Amino acid sequence: MTINTPSPVAPVVTRFAPSPTGFLHIGGARTALFNYLFAKHHGGTLHLRIEDTDRSRSTPEAIAAIIEGLAWLGLDHDGEVVYQFARAARHAEVAHALVASGHAYRCYASIEELDAMRAAQKAAHAPQRYDGRWRDRDPAEAPSSVKPVIRLKAPQTGATTIHDLVQGAVTVENAVLDDMVLLRSDGTPTYMLSVVVDDHDMGVTHIIRGDDHLNNAFRQLQLIRAMGWPEPAYAHIPLIHGADGAKLSKRHGALAVGEYAKMGYLPEAMENALLRLGWGHGDDEMITRNQAIAWFDTGHIGRAASRFDIKKLDNLNGHYIRSADDARLTALVLPFVEAKIGSPVSLSQHSLITKAMPELKSRAKTLLDLADGCLFLVRQRPLPIDASAEKLLDAAGLALLGDVAQTLSTEAVWDNPNLEASLKSMAERLGLGLGKIAQPLRAALTGTTTSPGIFDVLTLLGRDESLARISDTHKHTKLQ
């Protein structure tokens, strides 16, 4: 079932607000993508807010990784990055304003009192929540030894309903929501206060986030109403599970977005995969950025948890690699190639890889696959020979290569048609299928058993290099 989403009248403002206590994982990346697409669909604005109030766990490395991950995905935000910790004075100002208006109060309950309260509730099998003991008490009775916290004076009767753009109408009885702390005894604001104040000050009209925040929304809405501020629209997205339906973990591929870049995935493939996690547009599977912006709405976000399947990502990535521009792919794959060979790629090798790209990309699912396919073009002689290729270079294979070398050395025109005709004629003379000749030849030319078509390999390497590699297999009795 989908929920009809009315078109917003006011300018749309969304925000992505990660906590830098960890790197940007696919769940957060999907949330950022949905906020981005919703804002762009409505001609609105997306803000990035780093919720770094947990100073003991927030790290510069995580902040950098979040920003880099968003940049890799091409999810540009509007304006400067907002750092929540830097706005602590503004958050405290709002808490004191709520006290002045009678919507909040100072609570002088000591830690020992609160521990005893919780112990009594636990013994009575009652819900553990603050009992409001300082809600209506005269501050003149306050003990001088206790620094107070500031608590919201939340409504105790009735109910709070959120008309969620994904979940529908969700209602919670106010009696189960206690008076939450807004300002700690040391004067620092709590997460709940900071989020509400920042969303208001940033003009956020739509809050799109994981449904693990749905319970927080009821408390936040009470605070918004206490301040008399405009209420944002909420859209709480179901979480992501693994392909087996279990909670997403590293064994399912729940890695930081930056790791997927290192594993050779293209950002457009990751975006397409994230987009299809809980949102759909008919039977469309391959969706471009422009299409996603034109089509995206919250009404087609499902209520059930979506499943992340790394095999589907592989297939998507292969599709995008095959359709990518050859020059761009070459630029992307070169760092992977250089890491594998341990040296820079020369300008001539760069050109050779670009020339070979139409053939190389046809069988690759990741840039790592593509880099492996490039290696035969850039490795120095004598080539290392892998175990599978070595089996093809037995006595019979080497004898065939001797005939191949003799046959090819007479070719004056080194192109596919002439080379194919020459080797086919040789195969017929020996009463062999062309594949029987191509297998040891491929092993000698590439050091592997997989490559582009054998005639493409010959023409890419050129006459001198091809004949030299064939000769190497005879000279080196101990294969490298």
Tens of pLDDT, residues 10-21 = 799 999 999 998
DSSP string, 244-287: TSSBP-GGGT--BHHHHHHTT--HHHHHHHHHTSSB--TT--S-
Please work out, in degrees rounded to the nearest 5, the angle formed at the alpha carbon of residue 384 by the alpha carbons of 378 and 385: 120
From the list 261, 19, 18, the residue with the least C-alpha distance to 271 is 261
What are the tens digits of pLDDT across the range 149-182? Answer: 999 999 999 999 999 999 999 999 999 999 999 9
The whole-number pLDDT of residue 190 equals 96
**What SS3 class is residue 218?**
helix
Residue 140 — very low, low, confident or very high, per pLDDT cuts 50/70/90?
confident
Q: Is the pLDDT of residue 335 over 90?
A: yes
Q: Is the pLDDT of residue 366 over 90?
A: yes
The whole-number pLDDT of residue 173 equals 95
Active-site residue, from 147, 247, 250, 424: 250
Q: What is the mean pLDDT of residues 401-429?
A: 93
Residue 454 — very low, low, confident or very high, per pLDDT cuts 50/70/90?
very high
The whole-number pLDDT of residue 55 equals 86
| Domain assignments of the chain as residue spans, ordered by start | 13-80+239-314, 84-237, 325-378, 387-475
Give the phi and the psi of residue 182 in degrees, each rounded to 5. -100, -40
Residue 479 — very low, low, confident or very high, per pLDDT cuts 50/70/90?
very low
Do 13-80+239-314 and 84-237 share a fold? Answer: yes
Residue 476 — very low, low, confident or very high, per pLDDT cuts 50/70/90?
low
Q: Please, are residues 150 and 181 in contact by the beta-carbon 8 Å criterion?
A: yes
From the list 239, 238, 237, the residue with the least C-alpha distance to 254 is 239
**Alpha-carbon gap, residue 35 to 145, rounded angstroms:** 47
Query: Is residue 250 among the annotated active site residues?
Result: yes
From the list 191, 151, 193, 158, the residue with the least C-alpha distance to 172 is 158
Residue 473 — very low, low, confident or very high, per pLDDT cuts 50/70/90?
confident
Strands (E), 24-148: 45-50, 82-83, 104-107
Residue 480 — very low, low, confident or very high, per pLDDT cuts 50/70/90?
very low
What are the tens digits of pLDDT across the range 278-315? Answer: 999 988 989 999 999 999 999 999 999 999 999 999 99
The whole-number pLDDT of residue 3 equals 45
Q: Please, are residues 199 and 90 in contact by the beta-carbon 8 Å criterion?
A: no
User: What is the pLDDT of the chain when averaged over all its residues?
Assistant: 92
What are the tens digits of pLDDT across the range 216-242? Answer: 999 999 999 999 999 999 999 999 988
What are the tens digits of pLDDT across the range 242-269? Answer: 877 777 766 666 678 999 999 999 999 9
| Domain over 84-237 is classified CATH 3.30.70.120 | no
DSSP string, 181-200: EEE-TTSPBPHHHHHHHHHH
pTM comes to 0.90
The whole-number pLDDT of residue 243 equals 79
| Domain over 13-80+239-314 is classified CATH 3.40.50.620 | yes
Q: What is the CATH number of domain 387-475?
A: 1.10.10.350
Q: What is the mean pLDDT of residues 121-128?
A: 88
Q: What is the mean pLDDT of residues 448-457?
A: 93
Distances (CA, A) of 113 to 21, 130, 184: 32, 11, 16
Residue 189 — very low, low, confident or very high, per pLDDT cuts 50/70/90?
very high
The whole-number pLDDT of residue 4 equals 47
**Alpha-carbon gap, residue 345 to 338, rounded angstroms:** 6
Q: Is the pLDDT of residue 478 over 90?
A: no
What are the tens digits of pLDDT across the range 81-99? Answer: 999 999 999 999 999 999 9
Please work out, in degrees rounded to the nearest 5, the angle formed at the alpha carbon of residue 32 by the alpha carbons of 294 and 14: 75
Lowest-confidence segment of 85-94, 199-208, 244-253, 448-457 by average pLDDT: 244-253
